[in-house]
Structure 1
Amino acid sequence: MKKLLIILCGLVPLLSSALHPLHISVTNIDYNGENNSLEITHKIFMDDLEQAIEGIGGPKLQLGTKFEHPESEKWLSQYLQQHFTLTVNNKEVAFNYVGREADLSAIWIYREVLKVKKVKSLQIDCDFLTEQFDDQRNIIHLKYEDKEESFLMNKNNTTETFTP
């Protein structure tokens, strides 16, 4: 029995990495001309995000379960503020939290930036989970009026600038 337990303990990290071999997030930034706003959607693997929050002293969040920590929103907001910023026309902007959804493996977080009439430049700073995973990749898809651009960020490249 002891040998079986040792073998199983050795297999768990291998199996979990086989089930989730990529460390990646996807963020969509869409300009809404009718509302003069930027609509932001982040999709992040839940287990990675929870691990990162625990790494900065946060509690076990257990997102999307009946055991979810009562201060999950506070910890999510704090993490997002520290690891994703936008600077529009040389001015850092504030985000409004819209909501979130969880599926089996990922969390979708919705935010917006109001009162964005004209974008001359947009700087994106994103280092989601790079403190936790050396192979973390953060993909940003941006749509502004008739222009679309995508960026691939990693531990060594956390800032990109869009100029329409």
Structure 2
Amino acid sequence: MMRMKKAKHMLLPLAMVLFLSFTSVHKFYVSVTNMVYSEEDKAFQITSRIFIDDLDDLMEERYGIKSQLATPDESKLADEYLEKYFRAKFMVEINGKPVKYNFLGKRYDTDVAICYLEIPNINLSDVKSVSVQNEILTDLFDEQQNVVHVKWAGHKKSFVLIKGNNKGMLNL
């Protein structure tokens, strides 16, 4: 009888740990970036969708600011640091040469921040190759996946970039 009580006391914590490990939520770390060539504007227009809570974590971890994105208390420095982070972690090369892009801003859609970028003055007939390096959040989350869709002149190419493989290239 004493052995049975002792076994119950030992098994109960083990059972609780096992139960809780199966019920915990596993977070999915992903961003989606669309890069579309606009014939009308002669520009690559880029939108990048990133979870707001991940960006909040990033701002605090990397820059030490509580950004509180999408709230009335959003930090006045949020846009400045978000642009700074993009410039360090998101790069585009056309024909093997890095190109500058304009960071146009962001807006919110439920739990996602949508960041807008543009590479102006691009003549598509001169473009032979496009390379995208996307390291957004891979410095914070090892499991981060950055999906990139590139669309031009009726064509579409997609790739998934991760920490160890953060660059995708396509020939036009």
What residue ranges of structure 2 are gaps of 5+ in the alignment?
1-20
| Aligned counterpart, 2:7 | none
The runs of 4+ residues in structure 1 deviating greater than 2 Å are none
Which structure has more helix as a fraction of its residues?
A: 2
Give distance in 1, aligned partners of 2:122 and 2:55: 29
Deviation at 1:98, TM superposition (A): 2.2
Deviation at 1:22, TM superposition (A): 0.5
Deviation digits for residues 17-47 of structure 1 (CA, Å, limit 9, x no counterpart): 72x7200000000001121100000000011
| Aligned counterpart, 1:84 | 90
Deviation at 1:103, TM superposition (A): 2.5
Q: Does 1:146 align with 2:154?
A: yes
| Aligned counterpart, 2:64 | 58
What amino acid maps onto 1:35 in structure 2?
A: D
Give distance in 1, aligned partners of 2:40 and 2:115: 22
- Contact 1:30/1:143 (<8 A) preserved: yes
TM-score by length of 2: 0.81
Map residues 1-164 of structure 1 onto 2, 5 A cutoff. Answer: 18=25, 21-118=27-124, 119-164=127-172
Instruction: Report the number of matched residues.
Output: 148
Partner-residue secondary structure (3-state), 1:94: coil
- Contact 1:53/1:79 (<8 A) preserved: no
- Contact 2:79/2:105 (<8 A) preserved: no
**Based on CA coordinates, which of the two structures has the bigger radius of gyration?**
2
What residue ranges of structure 1 are gaps of 5+ in the alignment?
1-13
Deviation digits for residues 63-115 of structure 1 (CA, Å, limit 9, x no counterpart): 11110001111110011111100011122111112231113311001110101
TM-score by length of 1: 0.85
